[in-house]
Chain A
Amino acid sequence: MTPPNASITVTVNGEPRALDAGITVGALLQSLDLAGKRLAVERNGEIVPRATHPHAVLVEGDRIEIVVAVGGG
């Protein structure tokens, strides 16, 4: 069992970050003030579907990239 106040290390956009164990993709976006923005979240080389953000729990060593939509043409 992971104690409730334990932290995990996750790489976000190339930078290691200490996050609360059990944090979800959705909570991470909220903490970064990115909720509702035009972007996608990539975890370990795969886009995390938006419907699963609220219950996709991050684990130690995850590599997260925030992919911002490009619209120009």
Chain B
Amino acid sequence: MNDQQLLRYSRHILLDPIGIEGQDRLLGSRALIVGAGGLGCPSALYLAAAGVGTLVIVDDDEVDMTNLQRQILHREQSVGRAKVDSARDALHDINPGTEVIALKQRLAGDALLEQVAAADVVLDCSDNFATRHAINRACVATRTPLVSGAAIRFDGQVAVFDSREPNAPCYHCLFPEGGESEEVRCAVMGVFAPLTGIIGTVQAAEALKILAQTGRTLAGRLLLLDALGMEWRSIALPRDPGCAVCGEGA
């Protein structure tokens, strides 16, 4: 670290569980953020501000006026621009030391596997179950830690699936694929603006701890938030021995 970096990250370096060693790890690490919306914006803001070396941000969408209520990287003049371009510019203004790789696409197949394999941590900030399961499969296959967040209306869910650990559960252990329930999109259901900030910043905190190799993550737990009553619950989440993705039969 040079003098500028020592100054910039001094409040992290002061923390014993992070210190110079942990901050060095952040500077040398690469995070993949899938989705530059309600969850991806706050996650990316904190990862960039905290000095994560490389952020890969993936989203195939453009900024819409209805996004501005909660997607805090995007500005009114960005309406119509690619979300990943708007995000990259905003993050560069905050910390030019973080390299932001903006991918305007819906990552799938080998391209998804390649990006997940290259990442030290993956943040699932996506808005649909098909993507969530595809990201999970790629993370299990490459043993890449996954920080999964979700938010709709006043309800939030966040968990860490760390397939580097023996007997770790995966997203598929928690929720089955192709279940009957319909997609619940913000466009029809509504979403409380700061809910996405709360869940997204929890995701950022978990990702930073994984990258700095410090603390105890949410691995093996599911955190539920009811923002209307402002109640948090933590539930133990064991592996499903019959899981088709990570279980004994997989």
Binding site for B on A (CB under 8 A): 36-40, 42, 45-47, 49-52, 67-73
Contact = CB atoms under 8 A, between A and B. Distances in A.
B188 to A, nearest CB: 10
Interface of B: 35, 37-40, 124-129, 132, 149-152, 155-157, 173-176, 179-181, 183-186, 189, 191, 196, 222, 224, 235-243, 247
Contacts of B127: 71-73
B150 A71 contact: yes
A73 B40 contact: yes
A73 B149 CA distance: 7
Contacts of A39: 175, 179, 181
B241 A70 contact: no
A67 B222 contact: yes
Nearest to B174: A40
A36 B179 CA distance: 6
A73 B180 contact: no
B243 A46 contact: no
Contacts of B129: 38, 69, 71
A49 B239 contact: yes
B241 A49 contact: yes
Contact of B236 (A36, A45, A52, A71): A45
Given A69-B179, A71-B129, A73-B151, A46 B236 contact: yes
B126 A73 contact: yes
B176 A70 contact: no
Given A70-B152, A72-B127, 11 more contacts: A38-B175, A40-B174, A42-B235, A47-B238, A49-B239, A50-B242, A52-B240, A69-B157, A71-B152, A72-B191, A73-B39
B181 A72 contact: no
B242 A49 contact: yes
Contacts of B196: 73
Contacts of B179: 36-39, 69
